Structure 1
Amino acid sequence: MADSTTKRVTSADVARLAGVSRATVSYVLNDTPRQTISPATRDRVLAAAADLGYSPSAAARTLRTGRSDVVLCLLPDWPIGPEVGSMLGELSAALSRHGLTLVVHPGNRADRPMSELWKAITPAAVIAYTEFSDAEIAAMRSAGVALVVAVSRRGRGRVLAVPQELIGRRQAEHLVQRGHTRLGFAYPDDQRVRFFAEPRLAGVRAVCAGRKLPTPVGLTVPLDPAVAGEAVRRWLDTGVTAVCAYNDEVALAVLAGARDAGVAVPGSLAVIGVDDIPPARLSDPPLTTVTTDQVVVGAHLAATVVAAMSGRTGPELPAADIVRVVPRRSA
């Protein structure tokens, strides 16, 4: 049972243990510039804070500095797979190097109004993967909250996330370079990821159109070997010799479907996925896939947030340089 009499350790407790003033504790723990504090005093304060387990109050720091150190990332109702998880991890690490703390809220507007979320947390900045109304944007600006919209479907502002169409292009280009002229696209059965799937399919279609190849044959492929096997048979019946899958999970379903249908990969059907998840290296055959350098993506998004907080324009994302094919034996 928790002890209800336990009291929060304060800077006054640290000051008493270290034998210094509260102002000195504040200067040391906040690394305040232009203060003449000896190394011995600084070490004594840090040791006292560590011994007492003292953690400065975030609310007090916000009142003192006039700015929160929290960056709120609002995700739509997306499944948090390995790629999204990796991006969030890299973003968190990059923001921490700027003294900022990442808080992620997955969900959608039906769970809780976005305005309630940012007002409750009072962040320094909001990273959004969804659109905001003009009134919401104006309210954030009035509150001093920097807004970074990572993707936009209305053409407003710069797109900061990796263009999903580029990923589909990379898939199709790899297959076409290997002599395939009739492509298929394995579409996921999870409607939540249409936001990613549709532009990836558009990228595959664009490559085919540019090479004057037939329109890709798109089929929905659930994570079910028997149903995937039917899709594989339909692709072969229409002359498809290579399939771009929405992601590695769907690609693995296509491989399972090919085994179920007795179809050799890559002999009769080549397959390429997206994300380079660990099972992709362990499949039979190992899965060719497209990967994105999430270290660069996280650092870029963090730099954009920091720039937005100071009213500057952030850097350009070198998308073409960080999306690449990982060739293995499936294609």
Structure 2
Amino acid sequence: MAGVTSADVARASGVSRTTVSYVLNGTEGTSISDATRRRVLETAARLGYAPSAAARTLRSGRSDLVLCVLPDWPVGPVIETMLDHLADELAERGLSVLVHHVRGDRPLSELWRAVTPRTVVGLTEFEPDEVLAMRQAGIQVVDTGDAGPDAENPQPHIGRLQVERLVARSRARIGYATTDDPRVVDFADQRLAGVRAVCAERGLPAPVVIPVGVEARSGSAAVATWRQAGVTGVAAYNDEVAFAVLAGARAAGLDVPGDLAVIGVDDVPLAALASPPLTTVTQHIEREASYLAACVLAALDGDDPPPRPHEAPALVERDSA
């Protein structure tokens, strides 16, 4: 039964709303018989009554909601995996996660004032005025957008790993399958910087860079251009782009990795099921989710934030490169 209220429970159990409130809230010092208490609880269970989040907040003085703010990034397997792990770890402390995907110019304050979260955790940096306003409202703020001045940027290292793997497989002409999604072009450019650096260090020609959409037709067009340029190894922005390259190679009748080696990034679940299984670079997304959860819990407990893990991206060896 949807939308069941305490008034519905009171009518169905034949008692006052005050009695229902005392029973459901476990109020002590009331003269309510065990039989009445039992009847109210059984009726509430039968009707499927659950107190609203707002009511729980008013009674306890704090919310059980964690608002997770995502930048305007595409939500694919990597982000979904991270959010799943974050939700699982916080659920062990009785906390629920609400995800807000930043779009447009709507102020974040409109959302947090409406849902009154206990904690706000951001994967992007918040404006100082926004942080101050949330903290003045009694909301714990966990800002993970800034890794700190001593943190090494892992993105160029990812590109380096990709090319070093291709060079180890005797690939001397490298292509780079960048993304056609402007929301993540900064990540792609940083990875490309690592690709270019290794090519220069090894005395190889500059990589042939082509934007590739996540579709077979785009992959086919890119593969045709790379073949004309003599490319024998392709580093892709991520696994989804790599799948498009694999589709293009199949359409061209090429053997992977014999004619064209392909390597992705992220190690999404489907990477192991690709044909051939995709060699890729993992960013340890589960560990990042555990770090975010630990930051939230540390803020709630009044502890110092944990040190950010700096586990370097790692190669996952399979058959495509």
CA distance 1:122–1:256, shift in 2 (3 Å): same
Tell me if structure 1 keeps the 8 A contact 2:119–2:142.
yes
Q: Over residues 239-289 of structure 1, what are the superposed CA-to-partner deviations in whole Å (9 max), with x where a residue is unaligned?
A: 432111112221121122223334332112200112334443343322222
Separation of aligned partners in 1, 2:217 and 2:99? 37
Tell me if structure 1 keeps the 8 A contact 2:67–2:117.
yes
Q: CA RMSD in A?
A: 3.8
Aligned to 1:92: 87
CA distance 1:156–1:324, shift in 2 (3 Å): closer
Alignment of 1:47-58 (within 5 A): 50-58=45-53
Per-residue deviation, 1:318: 3.2
Aligned-partner residue type, residue 187 of structure 1:
T
Separation of aligned partners in 2, 1:109 and 1:67? 30
- SS for the counterpart of 2:177 is strand
Aligned to 1:79: 74
Alignment of 1:7-22 (within 5 A): 8-9=5-6
Aligned-partner residue type, residue 283 of structure 1:
A
Aligned-partner residue type, residue 9 of structure 1:
S
CA distance 1:65–1:156, shift in 2 (3 Å): farther
Aligned to 2:32: none
CA distance 1:296–1:50, shift in 2 (3 Å): farther
Alignment of 1:173 with 2:155, yes or no, is no
CA distance 1:150–1:285, shift in 2 (3 Å): same
Tell me if structure 2 keeps the 8 A contact 1:230–1:261.
no
Deviates more, 1:198-207 or 1:99-108: 198-207
Per-residue deviation, 1:26: 3.3
5+ unaligned residues in a row in structure 1: which ranges?
A: 33-41
Separation of aligned partners in 1, 2:38 and 2:209? 64
Aligned-partner residue type, residue 95 of structure 1:
L
CA distance 1:313–1:171, shift in 2 (3 Å): farther
Q: Over residues 161-197 of structure 1, what are the superposed CA-to-partner deviations in whole Å (9 max), with x where a residue is unaligned?
A: x944443343333323334344221011121222432
Deviates more, 1:197-206 or 1:97-106: 197-206
Identity %: 49
With normalisation by structure 2, the TM-score equals 0.79
5+ unaligned residues in a row in structure 2: which ranges?
A: 29-36
Alignment of 1:1-331 (within 5 A): 8-9=5-6, 25-27=24-26, 50-110=45-105, 112-152=106-146, 163-209=154-200, 211=202, 213-320=204-311, 323-331=313-321
Tell me if structure 2 keeps the 8 A contact 1:82–1:277.
yes
